[in-house]
């Protein structure tokens, strides 16, 4: 491997480090100032969800994990856009992907990113389901904190036929494993994970 190739790898890693600095733009419409929610933290949990779904669906976990890691890399250059922004902004996703990943000395990342975008393989479908479940988890956490706007996003507007309901969100998922996990997400409390491990006494 040449010095130039190694420089490209290091530059890419520095670029990916900036994912920690990129807030997700639903903060505007969810009326929240959650600085812990950024492109990097989102991608991290999507990757963990993807690994579990890959095991449950018996598909290649390596490929799913890498799709989850790369699924929002382009936003380092384009920024994140919520559904209001998307009406007015054009993103040159193919150009970003080619310039960001195509120049790397290994072409695997771009091939994986291309496969994810096509959504033709089972791994790509599983990775997208993981992305959607992370959004459900985040909304559930915000609802738990009393965010009424997040409640509307997650459960639909009371008395209205517009917008998504919880059932709509679950039905958008493609795999049975994702649908089952999503149903549990909607039932469990975000703090339930520590119910059986807390103690008032030090060891």
What are the boundaries of each domain within the chain? 3-190
Task: Give the dihedral sign, CA 58/61/65/70.
Answer: negative
* DSSP classification of residue 23: B
**Alpha-carbon distance 1 to 81, whole Å?**
37
> 72-124: per-residue pLDDT in tens?
999 999 999 988 999 999 999 999 999 999 889 999 999 999 999 999 999 99
| 47: nearest Cα among 26, 33, 61, 29 | 61
CA distance 12 to 6: 10
Helix (H, G, I), strand (E, B) or coil at 191: coil
CATH number for domain 3-190, candidates 1.10.3210.10, 3.40.50.360, 1.10.10.10, 2.40.50.180:
1.10.3210.10
Task: Return the pLDDT at 15.
Answer: 96
Q: What is the pTM of this model?
A: 0.92
């Amino acid at each position: 491997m040449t010095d130039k190739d190694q420089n490209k790898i290091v530059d890419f890693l520095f670029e990916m480090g900036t994912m920690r600095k990129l807030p997700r733009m639903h903060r505007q419409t969810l009326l929240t100032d959650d600085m812990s929610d950024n492109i990097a933290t989102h991608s991290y949990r999507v990757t963990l969800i993807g690994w579990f779904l890959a095991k449950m669906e018996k598909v290649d976990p390596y490929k799913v994990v890498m799709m989850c890691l790369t699924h929002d890399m382009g936003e380092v250059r384009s920024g994140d856009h919520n559904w209001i922004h998307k009406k007015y902004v054009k993103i040159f996703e193919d150009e970003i992907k080619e310039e960001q990943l195509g120049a790397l000395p290994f072409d695997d990342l771009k091939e994986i990113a291309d496969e994810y975008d096509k959504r033709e393989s089972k791994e790509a479908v599983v990775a997208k389901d993981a992305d959607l479940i992370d959004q459900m988890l985040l909304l559930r956490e915000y609802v738990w904190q009393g965010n009424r706007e997040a409640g509307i996003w997650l459960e639909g507007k009371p008395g209205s036929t517009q917008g998504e309901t919880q059932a709509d969100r679950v039905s958008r998922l493609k795999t049975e494993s994702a649908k089952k996990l999503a149903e549990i997400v909607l039932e469990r409390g975000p703090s339930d994970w520590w119910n059986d491990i807390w103690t008032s006494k030090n060891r």
